[in-house]
Structure 1
Amino acid sequence: MLRVVVRRTQLYSLHYLHLLPHCQPSVKWFRRSLVSTTTPILPVFKQAERFKDNIALSDQHGEHTYEQIHRLSGHLAWLIQNILGEDTTQERIAFLCPNDVSYIISQWATWMAGHIAVPLYPRHPAPELEYFVRDSRAAVIITTSEYAPKVKQILSGQQVIVLEEFFFKPSTEDESTLPAQYGRDPHFYTLSDAMILYTSGTTGPPKGVLLNHSNVQSQVSCLHQAWGWTQRDTLLHCLPLHHTHGIVNALLCPLYLGARVVMLPSFSPAEVWSHLLALNAPVEARVSLFMAVPTMYVKLLEEYHASLAKTSRTKEYVRSVCTQNVRLMISGSAALPESVLTSWQEATGHVLLERYGMTEIGMALSNPLKGTRHPGSVGTPLPGVEVRIVKFLPGQEDYQLLCEGSSTGTKVVPGSENEPGELLVRGPNVFKEYWCRPHATMDEFTHDGWFKTGDTAIYKEGSYRILGRTSVDIIKSGGFKISALDVEKQLLTHPNISDVAVVGVPDLTWGQKVAAVIVWHGEEQLDPMALREWGKERMPHYKVPSEVVQVKDSLPRNNMGKVNKKQLLLDFFKDPHSPS
């Protein structure tokens, strides 16, 4: 057996285009609405009208007020309506923008014009972006000059708006013809859809999660209540802007109530520390909230020990500034190792607040803003969210209820104390449907309307704990949910790989790292660098195995031809039950 360890690399791949669903408007998914349709929904840009002179965003280009962003978004919305027709609504508008003001302008303009936002991630390869654009049936793609060449690779008849060309070329339009008020009637948003966020493709091709404006407002308002947001807050943003964490938690939450966002172009440990310590920031721009995934906290601790913890005096300075200026630090998207929580508390004085959520539901559970935060716990249900822990009966739709909870408390069925089961969620935060996939939507809900998260949970000592994915084929690495089956399928397209099994190995930095046991039949020796080059156009970087074990003949299988992946972990990977 040859063991080859490959460092975590930037590899991309996706060949899902032939699997695009055919939308059938006649096939609809119905479930009982938990949202009142009598109360008008006010999208974020409507809220922004109250905070005109406040600084909404500080980015690499400077400071931007709510009024400036609102006005530019209105101009872009006017252009979108000119392209698609003023009376046309609910078309999909995809946008590929950097982490700066262009993203917010594109998002707000899409909603002002009455359409559905489809945010794209610049680091995704062209085939994956093309899949998202085609699957969503986007009518327009908004981008910047930086990403315009990438957009050209994925076009299939869409109109393209390059923001610099629109905003900075001499205008031939009379500004007096522009509308004085931007956006549709408030009742329009009560009944309309807001955005499509794509899952990581853990059970096949990525699915578009369709959220309506009521879902978005519910997700934002419950976090406002739970985490004590105020207009005085300043949030440091360094997250990707194609997932719930970066979009709802870290962007819409502050912008809904007039707070300030300091946005970095990308995550940089040194830059994050510079902002947390307020080295160059005026008093009004000092960070009061910070959110990150566990992997980021590991990298920040590495930077802390390398650059900031050289003397007891600098250690005390870091701890003092963080406790005085920052009121809340949050970790999510993956399990937080207790050692990281402890080390972060020692460095900053903050006990990280852990919470639980996913693309389909936003946030569902959270540790308390004030009160004891237990390591490994994700707290209790957020306001407006209901949860259940259940055991499904084999071969049936029915389930056995173990416990049921809301923000007011949890009731455990007698005899089911400390018993694990699958976590179910219900509430106005839960998504509307999977885009153009009514049957997939139905599969993810119980017969009585609860969303099946696929996570195993337990209610113990007054709080909920997530024990892991119900399926061994789901890997959570660096905040991403990854389908082992999808990675296997891509690796099997390599001419020299005849069999493969992909597993998640516990890892302190990534939560789990993607590992593969490969049957290699090539005449030449397996070359990790060559494999990396081969994979650059095939898999997103987070799906690429960071550790590879090569075997000569075959994988161990049972009488049914199945690989026991739990046994593989024991046989091929050192101490798989403990983080490395």
Structure 2
Amino acid sequence: MRNQGIGSWTARRARMSPDRLAVVDDGREWTYEQLHRRSTRTAHALAKLGVGNGDRVAYLGPNHANLLETLFGAGMLGAIFIPLNARLAPAELAYILGDSGASVLVHSPAHAETAEALGKVVSKTVDFDTYEELLADASEDPIDEPVDQEDIAVIMYTSGTTGHPKGAALSHANVHWNSFNLLIDVDLAGDEVTLVNAPMFHVAALNQTVLPTLLKGGTVVLMPAFNPVRTLELIKERRATYLFGVPAMFQAIAATPGWAEADLSSVRTLICGGAPVPEQVITTYQARGLTFLQGYGLTESAPSGLFLRAKESTRKVGSAGTPCFFTDVKVVGPDGDELPPGEPGEVLIHGPNVMPGYWEKPAETAKALSEDGWLRTGDVAVTDEEGFLYIRDRIKDLIISGGENVYPAEVEDAIHKHPAVADCAVIGVKNERWGEVGRAVVVVRDGEQLEPAELTEFLAGRIAKYKVPASVVFADSPLPRTASGKLLKTSLRATYGDG
């Protein structure tokens, strides 16, 4: 095949295991042969809409088989796929479509009104009904457009917690090497049944669960949106073996009434990432006898960075692990020199999974990537004597109190251990004496009560005195998070900070 990209995957799988079950979506099932046929039809349909090599095709909707078919169909043409965050406002989506120059938007019925408004930015919009009509008339003739490994496969837009989001342009090689990292680190099997309840517009859901599973020949079971009760039901019904989630998702699953009795006997591996993982979340799942692994990465690294493998999951609880197989990671100081164990510094990532740059943003790319290709993450970590990394926080979220560095994620982890705490965040607020001090924003579990003094007393002795928040406020509603589960500290500072 001249196509060396992900657009060739369905053909390669169809010739290798045509009758294996590839995708389950709302009870409907596709074998690898059927997935290949529909993806080929999608490619021909997109070509009729004027899509060619290098053009951009966007998708707006829930986790759905149409997303995968559009991804693979675009890949067959050498086009670039853009999965849109379905939770964004129309103005935010319009920015992304304009920034990427997408020419076609495939969208679900639930987003028809938004898609109509976005028609001013993108030349063609295709709803699911029209999509099926286009496929019904499309050819299944093979397509073998030349696609190189270094061509761009996917543009995934960052969370945009500050300013406009940037499009991380991931090459086919980035996606391939990330999949290889995942297959080695998790040791996925050909009979894997992967339950996908995190949104596939998020790099971890798509690249850490769906694509490696399909590469290996397993089955992906799609949920349109996260639902903790339905997650437990589908684990039992489909005998799911593998799941990814952000900490807030795993917390919600463990808080459901049916958690204690849920049949989890089929589950081999759970991986968690996207935000600092409280130790309590890890131990809750380990108490059920489950292999709960933690990973660390960024959209810009597709997202491989670090992984805590099964053998070390208990001994190194709380660590993000060591570098993935084909990836190198180091912790450096402000001068760029690598730091010894125990000293906090910025995490840098290097490897064939790291993006070549942000879409048409050379200045931003230069800030993120060193001349020799090291990705500056903006995250703080320390290593231990064995080379395991512990992620502390974002550099920009660091609180400097009386000359001491306070990492909010470390304090949040301690607060999460209080049995009455459902969720929490720590932000910095101005202080005349210390310059800045911590403030804890806490959500209390239903039926529980908690006083500020009780929480600060609980933290005494667990963390250094200077790390204990100087004030505690309680939130009546869930804390604001991005679609990938990261706390929106900017929003929290605006609501609960010093203005």
Rg larger in structure:
1
2:373 aligned residue: 449
2:405 aligned residue: none
Q: Superposed, which structure 2 residues align to 1:122-161 within 5 Å?
A: 122-155=86-119, 156-161=121-126
Q: Is the 8 A contact 2:40 2:73 kept in 1?
A: yes
1:295 aligned residue: 248
The structure-2 alpha-carbon separation of the partners of 1:73 and 1:42, relative to structure 1 and needing over 3 Å to count, comes to closer
2:49 aligned residue: 83
- The equivalent position to 1:101 in structure 2, one of 40, 43, 65, is 65
* Identity percentage of aligned residues: 27
Q: Which has the higher contact order (CA 8 A, sep 6+)?
A: 1
Specify the SS of the correspondent of 2:204.
helix
Specify the SS of the correspondent of 1:336.
coil
Task: Give the superposition deviation at 1:473.
Answer: 7.4
- AA aligned to 1:353 is L
- The equivalent position to 2:202 in structure 1, one of 237, 243, 260, is 243
Q: Is the 8 A contact 1:228 1:369 kept in 2?
A: no
1:429 aligned residue: 353
1:495 aligned residue: none
1:345 aligned residue: 286
Specify the SS of the correspondent of 1:384.
coil
- AA aligned to 2:266 is N
Task: Give the superposition deviation at 1:370.
Answer: 2.8
1:65 aligned residue: 31
User: Which residues of structure 1 form unaligned runs of 5+?
Assistant: 1-37, 394-398, 403-415, 486-500, 511-516, 518-527, 533-539, 556-580
- AA aligned to 1:286 is R
Distance in 2, matches of 1:356 and 1:157, equals 34
2:17 aligned residue: 51
Are 1:471 and 2:396 matched, yes or no?
yes
The structure-2 alpha-carbon separation of the partners of 1:504 and 1:270, relative to structure 1 and needing over 3 Å to count, comes to farther
- AA aligned to 1:115 is A
Q: Is the 8 A contact 1:353 1:367 kept in 2?
A: yes
1:400 aligned residue: 337
1:368 aligned residue: 309
Specify the SS of the correspondent of 2:63.
coil
Are 1:385 and 2:327 matched, yes or no?
yes
Task: Give the superposition deviation at 1:39.
Answer: 11
Q: Is the 8 A contact 1:341 1:351 kept in 2?
A: no
Q: Is the 8 A contact 1:294 1:509 kept in 2?
A: no
- AA aligned to 2:62 is P
- AA aligned to 1:464 is L
Distance in 1, matches of 2:133 and 2:94, equals 28
1:197 aligned residue: 156
Give per-residue Cα distances to partners, 1:55-76, cap 9 Å, x unaligned. Answer: 1111215112222222112112
Q: Is the 8 A contact 2:105 2:122 kept in 1?
A: no
Distance in 1, matches of 2:155 and 2:192, equals 28
Task: Give the superposition deviation at 1:345.
Answer: 2.0
Task: Give the superposition deviation at 1:507.
Answer: 5.8
Task: Give the superposition deviation at 1:544.
Answer: 4.6
Distance in 2, matches of 1:110 and 1:97, equals 17
Q: Is the 8 A contact 2:102 2:122 kept in 1?
A: no
Task: Give the superposition deviation at 1:339.
Answer: 1.5
- AA aligned to 1:387 is V
Q: Is the 8 A contact 1:337 1:508 kept in 2?
A: no
- AA aligned to 1:443 is K
Q: Is the 8 A contact 1:111 1:183 kept in 2?
A: no
Give per-residue Cα distances to partners, 1:186-230, cap 9 Å, x unaligned. Answer: xx2323110100111244211000001000001011101111112
Are 1:548 and 2:495 matched, yes or no?
yes
Distance in 2, matches of 1:61 and 1:121, equals 24
The structure-2 alpha-carbon separation of the partners of 1:357 and 1:165, relative to structure 1 and needing over 3 Å to count, comes to same
- The equivalent position to 1:162 in structure 2, one of 127, 132, 137, is 127
Are 1:357 and 2:289 matched, yes or no?
no
- AA aligned to 1:128 is E
- The equivalent position to 2:170 in structure 1, one of 205, 208, 211, is 211
1:490 aligned residue: none
Q: Is the 8 A contact 1:97 1:143 kept in 2?
A: yes
1:307 aligned residue: 258
Give per-residue Cα distances to partners, 1:168-196, cap 9 Å, x unaligned. Answer: 4795x5x6xx35313424xx232311010
Distance in 1, matches of 2:240 and 2:76, equals 30
1:440 aligned residue: 364
Specify the SS of the correspondent of 2:333.
strand
Specify the SS of the correspondent of 2:254.
helix
Specify the SS of the correspondent of 1:190.
coil
TM-score for the superposition, normalised by structure 1: 0.67
1:24 aligned residue: none
Distance in 2, matches of 1:164 and 1:228, equals 39
Task: Give the superposition deviation at 1:547.
Answer: 8.6
Task: Give the superposition deviation at 1:472.
Answer: 2.0
1:232 aligned residue: 191
The structure-2 alpha-carbon separation of the partners of 1:169 and 1:139, relative to structure 1 and needing over 3 Å to count, comes to closer
Q: Is the 8 A contact 2:40 2:141 kept in 1?
A: no
- AA aligned to 1:357 is G
- AA aligned to 1:63 is E
The structure-2 alpha-carbon separation of the partners of 1:69 and 1:547, relative to structure 1 and needing over 3 Å to count, comes to same
Distance in 2, matches of 1:344 and 1:250, equals 19
Distance in 2, matches of 1:169 and 1:95, equals 16
Are 1:271 and 2:240 matched, yes or no?
no
